[in-house]
């Protein structure tokens, strides 16, 4: 089997700085995207690039990162549980920061205490997106 790499793009790159703008409505799709993002983290490491990833959750995606999953069932519940497992795994990785928009969580009726322990609130993830991009982080939307 042929082995592929990303050296043409990563040549000379020492840090992979990315801010993920997560505003997903579909938990099944988001669970798959988080699996690919986790693979991206590992791929960067394996190619000698230090991953620096910030995850900003806003909008409906905030409903998938609460401690109470009783509103979900079936395939959706399985996807939400996979999202939460992926986030706990990512939160343990060096260079990863998770943030939840206080404006969005308030609008979705989610209290700070209801969020997963690894997903702290910030005032406004739009401000986070502006700040991280100003610091050289690439913006990747996840919808």
- 42-61 pLDDT, tens digit per residue, is 999 999 999 999 999 999 99
Q: Are 121 and 2 spatial neighbours (Cβ–Cβ below 8 Å)?
A: no
**Mean pLDDT in the chain?**
97
For the structural domain made of 14-142, what CATH number should be given? Answer: 3.40.1260.10
Task: Give me the pLDDT at residue 43, please.
Answer: 98
Task: Give me the pLDDT at residue 6, please.
Answer: 97
Class of residue 98 by CB neighbours under 10 A (exposed 0-12, middle 13-18, buried 19+) = buried
Whether the per-residue pLDDT at 1 is higher than 90: the answer is: no
| Sheet with 121-122, edge to edge strand ranges | 121-122, 96-101, 50-57, 15-22, 138-142
Percent of residues, the chain, with pLDDT higher than 70: 100
0.85 exceeded by the pTM? yes
Percent of residues, the chain, with pLDDT higher than 90: 98
Q: For 106-120, write each residue's pLDDT tens digit.
A: 999 999 999 999 999
Whether the per-residue pLDDT at 20 is higher than 90: the answer is: yes
Which among 93, 84, 101, 97 has a CA at the least distance from the CA of 44? 93
Q: For 76-95, write each residue's pLDDT tens digit.
A: 999 999 999 999 999 999 99
Task: Give me the pLDDT at residue 3, please.
Answer: 87
Per domain, the residue ranges of the chain are 14-142
């Amino acid at each position: 089997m042929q082995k592929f790499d990303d050296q043409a793009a990563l040549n000379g790159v020492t840090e992979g700085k990315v801010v993920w703008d997560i505003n997903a409505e579909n938990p099944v799709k988001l669970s798959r995207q988080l699996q690919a993002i986790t693979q991206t983290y590992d791929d960067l490491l394996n190619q000698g690039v230090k991953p620096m990833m910030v995850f900003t959750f806003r909008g409906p995606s905030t409903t998938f990162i609460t401690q109470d999953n009783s509103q979900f069932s079936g395939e959706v519940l399985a996807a939400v549980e996979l999202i939460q497992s992926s986030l706990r795994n990512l939160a343990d990785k060096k260079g990863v920061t998770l943030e939840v928009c206080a404006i969005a969580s308030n609008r979705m009726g989610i209290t700070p205490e209801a969020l997963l322990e690894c997903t702290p609130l910030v005032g406004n993830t739009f401000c986070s997106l502006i700040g991280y991009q100003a610091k050289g982080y690439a913006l990747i939307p996840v919808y």
